[in-house]
């Protein structure tokens, strides 16, 4: 299953040739989806890909706007160097907006598309998922990144939040998980403002996630006995 994390990109520089660099992911912080990316999570995917990943416009595989040409982990996080193809109209538009954001102090949004290869629940707080190995597939320039201390944050559907909680904290099987989700359908209707496909509001959605977890705890006994 492919997942997406959107965040304000910590861009160090962008030049007229379309090259940019900065930190695409930082280690150790808990995001709004309850995930922590651990140091070393990208090690295998970086070796296998040699740091070459497609750069897309809003995760649209028909709208590639460039390539990432270098990536490595350091103590802080995942450093990337990307190159936009300025022969592509969408890439020229994104390049112009990224330069404007840098000049006015705005934040450029990036969103990574990836698969979780290895994860585990935090020992002290089982609702938190520790991402130990990630397969990075692509990253995209997006308009509406999530904004929480300029760190990596996670975009997940509410069904995914439920599934992660039941797997990590309870150890439910797929049948039990499906039953819990059906019983919570009234809470899974997402109302979004236009243009928020890649973002969460810091307050409302975080409160909804907490409400889901609370409701799940109330349903656990009934579901486990079903």
pLDDT tens across 107-164, in order?
777 788 889 999 999 898 888 999 999 999 998 888 765 433 322 222 234 556 666 6
Q: In terms of residue numbers, what domain contains 32?
A: 3-142
Does residue 149 form part of some domain? Answer: no
The pTM of the full predicted model, rounded to 2 decimals, is 0.61
Residue 62 has a pLDDT of 92
**24 plus 78 within the same structural domain:** yes
- Helix-strand-coil split of the chain, %, nearest 5: 30, 35, 35
Residue 7 has a pLDDT of 62
Distance CA 153, CA 224 (A): 31
**127 plus 216 within the same structural domain:** no
Interior CA angle at 6 toward 26 and 134, to 5°? 55
- Ranges of the chain whose pLDDT falls below 70: 1, 6-12, 32, 144-165, 168-170, 181-226
The closest alpha carbon to 3, from 163, 147, 125, belongs to 163
Report the SS3 class of residue 2: coil
State the DSSP code for 155: B
**86 plus 198 within the same structural domain:** no
**127 plus 58 within the same structural domain:** yes
Residue 131 has a pLDDT of 93
Residue 217 has a pLDDT of 60
**22 plus 102 within the same structural domain:** yes
Distance CA 162, CA 152 (A): 21
**73 plus 176 within the same structural domain:** no
Distances (CA, A) of 128 to 122, 124, 159: 6, 9, 16
| Bridge partners, residue 129, by sequence | 35, 121
Residue 105 has a pLDDT of 79
**91 plus 131 within the same structural domain:** yes
**Residues 6 or more apart in contact with residue 225 via CB below 8 angstroms:** none
State which of 142, 177, 199 marks the end of a domain: 142
Does residue 151 form part of some domain? Answer: no
């Amino acid at each position: 299953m492919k997942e997406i994390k959107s965040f304000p990109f910590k861009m160090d520089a962008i030049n007229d040739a379309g090259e940019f660099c900065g930190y695409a992911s930082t280690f150790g912080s808990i995001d709004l989806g309850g995930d922590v990316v651990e140091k070393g999570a990208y090690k295998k995917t970086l070796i296998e890909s040699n740091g070459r990943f497609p750069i897309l416009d809003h995760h649209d595989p028909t709208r590639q706007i460039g390539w990432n040409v270098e990536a490595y982990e350091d103590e802080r996080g995942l450093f990337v160097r990307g190159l936009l193809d300025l022969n592509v109209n969408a890439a020229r538009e994104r390049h112009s907006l990224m330069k404007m954001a840098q000049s006015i102090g705005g934040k450029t949004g990036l969103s990574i598309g990836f698969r979780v290869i290895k994860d585990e629940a935090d020992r002290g707080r089982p609702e938190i998922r520790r991402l130990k190995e990630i397969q990075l597939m692509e990253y995209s320039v997006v308009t509406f990144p999530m904004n929480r201390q300029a760190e990596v944050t996670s975009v997940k559907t509410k069904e995914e939040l439920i599934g992660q909680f039941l797997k990590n904290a309870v150890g439910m099987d797929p049948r039990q998980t499906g039953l819990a989700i059906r019983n919570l359908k009234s809470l899974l209707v997402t109302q979004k403002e236009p243009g928020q496909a890649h973002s969460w509001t810091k307050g409302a959605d975080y409160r909804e996630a907490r409400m889901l977890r609370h409701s799940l705890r109330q349903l656990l006994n009934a579901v486990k006995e079903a």
